[in-house]
Chains A and B, each alone.
Chain A
């Protein structure tokens, strides 16, 4: 994948540290949601190997910040909760990942391309 210089416009986010994403599993949760339309609460919890309360607490923080959209419903009689990353959430994640990648490069150890690519933020 081609990379553009930061801040050059297009799909490349400007590097920007976001302290909100530095606590607990918030960064991993946002990264998990980045490629999906909606993800079930239990699936996110299992994928990130964290407790119900941790997902609940951090998702609420992200929702309050406008990074996450939460939808409640049910399948049959079982109540379900789904998460989706919002456009501001994608932008914040992209910026934070660009900042982390830049930091990693500045320390002389570039992150492997395709392992973490902050390009997609739309």
Chain B
């Protein structure tokens, strides 16, 4: 702990703000389900007749709107408006970029496997891709908290 009362005050204030960067467990539960649903989209679509694909865009739009509404409601109820740009968090940005690379690479890999009639292999690949993306998102949030606590954020 900092040894002067002033520095201790600052550390406490930053720690208090940093707590707002974390999501509740219910958020992560919903996020995990949505992640598996979206990452496995090429697989699920291969089971559906092509006529049912029209509903897919509505599902994606609903998830997007739901996510935006959750974000607005959470900011309003907490009273804390943290920077939305990931570039505001120097440490978290690096982890986020790795997570994006894994997500894009994993999705492309699953898509290619389904396209080349390797749906079973794609199903096996889905689990590690979803876990890796999930962990990268949790790590990103933890890094955002650490960045706030260390005063590294640039709103």
A binding-site residues for B, Cβ under 8 Å = 1, 22, 25, 27-29, 31-32, 34-40, 42-44, 47-48, 75, 82, 84, 97, 100-101, 103-104, 109, 111-112, 114-120, 122
Contacts and interface: CB of A to CB of B under 8 A. Distances in A.
Interface stretch (B5-13, B30-38, B134-142): B5-13
Interface SS, A side: mixed
A114 B3 contact: no
* Most chain A beta-carbon contacts within 10 A, residue among B1, B2, B146: B2
Given A104-B2, A104-B7, A116-B7, A35 B16 contact: no
Interface in B132-155: 146-155
A122 B154 contact: yes
A119 B80 contact: no
Main secondary structure of the interface of B (DSSP, over half): helix
Q: Interface size bucket, B side?
A: 20 to 34
A82 B10 CA distance: 20
A31 B2 CA distance: 14
B7 A101 contact: yes
A35 B12 contact: no
B93 interface: no
Given A35-B18, A37-B83, A1 B152 contact: yes
Given A36-B153, A37-B155, A100-B6, 17 more contacts: A25-B9, A28-B12, A31-B9, A35-B18, A35-B153, A36-B81, A36-B83, A37-B81, A39-B80, A47-B17, A48-B13, A100-B7, A111-B4, A112-B1, A112-B2, A114-B146, A116-B7
Interface in B106-136: none
16 contacts: A1-B150, A22-B6, A29-B13, A34-B153, A35-B17, A36-B20, A36-B81, A37-B81, A48-B16, A97-B10, A100-B7, A104-B7, A111-B3, A111-B7, A114-B150, A116-B14
